[in-house]
Every structure is written in structure tokens, then in C-alpha cells.
Structure 1
Amino acid sequence: MDFSIRAATVEDCKDIARMVMELAEYEKVTQYVKVTQKDLEQDGFSKNPFFHAIIAEVPEQHKSKEGKGIGKALMSKVAQLCVAAGCKQLNFSVLDKNYSAVDFYQRQGCVNITTTIGYHCMRCEGEELQNLAQH
């Protein structure tokens, strides 16, 4: 398959927001999605960005539902960026019921640390975050 990988730009935020929502719909968690295109533009492309993103571009004539090799190429690029930045580990979040994603990550050499060491990812948000910030 013919595709290229590049750094995301602010112009990509509309598509990134759409893909976040598509994933949330697939995983049936749309009620938890609060991020907007404007949030992505501000958080990812301001003076001190909170995140960086990469994009896989597929020429129109090569687009299909299969996406053969794109996921692995994206993960490889992220791993390259991590190694170059001196990172020692790379973490992914995936719903336990998203079996195809869990299997994909494991095929790439990832380990499910929830089952191997009992590690849980905890979150504080909304009113609880505000309360915590006041103490």
C-alpha cells in the first residue's frame, strides 16, 4: 500500500477530532468525549503544546477499509520518535473489550501491564479535579 507519514499540522485538527469521535463511537464511549477541534488546535499547536501527532496520508486511489500496514507503520514511527527523545517506555490505552486492538498491540511486542503487574490507569477530572486543585 502506498502511504506517507508526516507530522500533524493545525489544519489536521478537524480530521483528528472526527477520528477521535469515530473511535469513541466504535468503542461505544461517545459520552466521555469532550475534546473539540478548537481544543486540539489550542492544545497541540500553541507555544507549549500538550501533545504531538503524526498523520498517515493515503493517496485517494489507494484508500480502502483494510489499511494494510498503516497501523504498524504509525506505531513504528512513534517508537522511533520515543527512542530519539530518550524515552524508556511507550504506553497505550485500549478498552479491554477492543480485542482486535489488544491483539494488535501484543503482536507488536506490547505487554498488557494490567494483567502482568496489576497496574491501573487512574483519572481525576471535572469537579473532583477542581476539588483536588483546591487542597
Structure 2
Amino acid sequence: MNIRRGTKNDMQAVLDLIQELAIFEKEPDAVVVTVADLERDGFGDNPLFYTFVAEVDQEIVGMALYYYRYSTWKGRTIHLEDLIVKEKMRGSGLGLALYTKVIEQGKADNVRRIEWNVLDWNTPAIDFYKKSGAKILADWDVVQMDEQGINDFLTNL
């Protein structure tokens, strides 16, 4: 197993993992991001995200994608957008290795918080996070406005 920083050349494998996650989360048609989007947004002058990839036998079988945010209470934070391990490799320790790498990055960057979302029905992930010492915030709801909502809001101003 090798955990390393993702490169521009890894973005097709990263997209494949994203699509696998969408299927797992019962949203197979929700992914609209492309390899070109990932290459542009992750590897320009001001990258919008960073990745770690997990390789086994020179095949990328997992990834963690994160980016920096700013909290008015805590300052600089990391948001872990996705941690994905191919189904055939789950239970092998790759998820823990990727998770550890993101937490080590947060420590090296002196962030005061690392945060992410987990679906309420994904009990294996919830149990893993709780066991690691993470807090599940039951009194907060995730709020999003999708593209249609953005358009509708601006149209109705």
C-alpha cells in the first residue's frame, strides 16, 4: 500500500472513485464533474482542492479529497469532502491510512478543526468516525442550495 499526494495524471482514477461513491450513495446520475474540471480546479495557480491517493500494485484504489475553509470561530480549517475506497478494498486499512493522512495534514497546517459530512444511514462510517474520536453533531443540519435553487432564487429577487 502506498499513500501519496494526488497528481493531475490521477484525476481519471479519482473521477472513477467519485462515480463509485455516487452509486454507493444511491445517486448514480448526480456526478457532473469531469476530469477536465478536476485537473483545472485542483492543479492551477490557486488549487480549490487537494487529494491523497492510495495505491495497491500501482492501481489507485482509494482517495481523500479535501480543501481549506475559514471558520469565524476557529480560523483555518480543513473540509474533507470525500474519503473513498473501492469496494473490493474496504476493510484493508486503506480508509484508515487515508483518514490518518488528512489528519496529519491538518496537524502540520495547524488547523483547529477538520470537518466532513456522513450520511445518517452509513453506520459503518459513523461507527468508524466515533471510534476515532470524531464528534457527530446531531444538532446541526446540512444546508445546501443546488444549481436550480440558485437560479430560482436569483430569478425571484
Alpha-carbon distance between aligned partners in 2 of 1:53 and 1:132, rounded to the nearest angstrom: 33
The Cα of 1:65 is off from its aligned counterpart by 3.2
Further displaced range: 123-132 or 96-105: 123-132
Gaps of 5+ in 1: none
Which residue of the other structure, out of 75, 83, 90, is the alignment partner of 2:99?
75
Please provide the CA RMSD for this pair.
Answer: 2.1
Matched, 1:101 2:122: no
Q: In 1, Cα distance between the equivalents of 2:36 and 2:101?
A: 26
Give the TM-score normalised by the residue count of structure 2.
0.72
Greater share of residues in strand: 2
SS at match of 2:29: helix
Cα deviation for residue 133 of structure 1 reads 6.8
Q: Which structure has greater helix proportion?
A: 1
With over 3 angstroms needed to count, the CA separation of the structure-2 counterparts of 1:30 and 1:109, relative to structure 1, is: same
Compute the displacement of 1:127 (Å): 3.4
**Structure 1-normalised TM-score?**
0.83
Cα distance in 2, alignment partners of residues 11 and 21 from structure 1: 17
- Say if 1:131 and 1:87 are closer, same or farther in 2 by CA, change over 3 A: farther
Q: 1:123 corresponds to which residue?
A: 144
Shift of 1:17: 0.4
Is the aligned partner of 1:23 residue 2:44? no
Q: Deviations over 1:84-107 (max 9, x none)?
A: 112111112221111111111112
Aligned residues: 128
Task: Name the SS of the counterpart of 2:115 in structure 1.
Answer: coil
Report the AA paired with residue 37 of structure 2.
D
